[in-house]
Structure 1
Amino acid sequence: MAEAITDRDVVRALRPFVRATGPLLDTLREANLLGLRDREVEHGADRRLVDRLWDRLAQVEVPGTAGWARMGVRQRDDWWLGRLGRLLSLLAAIPGVGGALADRLPIQAALGAAGQGLLLSAMAGERGFTSTEDRVRLLAHVLFRREVDGLAVDPVEDEDRRTRELTEELRAERSTFRAVGATVWKLARVLWRLEDELDKRPRGRLHHQALGMLPVVGVLGDYLGERWALRRVRADAYAWFGTQ
């Protein structure tokens, strides 16, 4: 019989997870892409076509643009849920091609939990919850229904090494799709050790799970289920923020 997972085990897994996701999300949020965030939109028919193009780009609401800087916190939550959420839900749903067999494997649940953890870290950052301890408490509460203190349980040197290992692809390849995908995979493996806890995370509705049991089309059911679960994650996070 496997030993029960303790709060210490949860904190030990979540601390390197949070430390690895924080820099990635902060970089995406604060990056001043090509100087677009500081660009003032100009008007006039005599401007060059290239100037008008740059102005249009500056209005796109993505991190690092002027449009993003003007967005409110809830609007940024919507962006993370929509843009980042779609990518993460797709990554978590891909094992669903195998239907019921894939659903019995913990990696799908770990990928889903990793995506939910990334969304929670992004939302926390928008509200000033930047410490590792705060984000660990948030993730433990929403994903695993546990109240933990989030303090370090291992030597800091070991945490530093684990963070470097988890983010080495991002440092080598910047933020390419391949590097991001590889990093999410590593983050999922971190949560994989909490296999018995993963079923506690927000999941899709019963009809999403039923569709996910079917071969091939199961990926659609899993994708829709993960998207619905992310909305639950956001609602649970709002409740947690309201108590802090």
Structure 2
Amino acid sequence: MTTPKLLDTTDKSTAHIKPDGVPIAETILLPGDPLRAKFIAQTYLDDAKCFNEVRNMLGFTGTYQGTPISVMGTGMGIPSISLYTWELIHVFGVKNLIRVGSCGALQEDIELYDVVLAQGASTDSNYLEQFALPGNLALLSSFRLLEAAKRIADDKGQRTHVGNVLSSDIFYSADEQYNQKWAQMGVLTVEMEAAGLFANAAAAGVDALAIFTVSDHLLRGQHASTEERQTAFTQMIEIALGLA
């Protein structure tokens, strides 16, 4: 990937992102939690400056090992990440969007704290209906980013899984067999945002990837503690930052 440049935000703003002239990098990490965006900026970025505080959806731009990179929260669910990524792409010109978050495992060979690289994202969302496609679009990540992330993870000795994830609008399902039905189709994990990101990226012709840390195993009823999540998430973040 070519070195990401800083994008001029002078005279650019939306109802949800107001940089006030602070630049945004062409490559951005997108955790759901704005406080995790702040943690990433404070822990990993040099000379980090806040470019967004609207609705407390914090965004920061700095450098990682000399390379410009931004990080911003997106909130929970496809509607929220889709709103922010549409504006980042179409108003501010972001080219590489990397979701980093947690997920729940649906396969027995996946363990807590493993890293999942989303090759594609299935969904129960109606988000794609707006495009009026004459069929069903397979939502895929950028192979360029995916291949690079897998190489970085392998170099670190990080246990990873690559494949299909589920981006669901439903956190508490009334269907008791909901997770099992997706698991039977080989879906690795469930989360709530990647499909919206991949759809926006596909429509705009930019690159997107989603990287997850397994925080829960939905078939076994296993859950990571808050402290364990924080430690495990740093491995995922370092893979994502390596893409810059």
TM bin, normalised by shorter chain, reads under 0.3
Greater Rg by CA: 1
TM-score, scaled relative to structure 2: 0.26
The structure that is helix-richer by fraction is 1
- Higher normalized contact order (CA 8 Å, seq sep 6+, divided by chain length): 1
TM-score, scaled relative to structure 1: 0.26
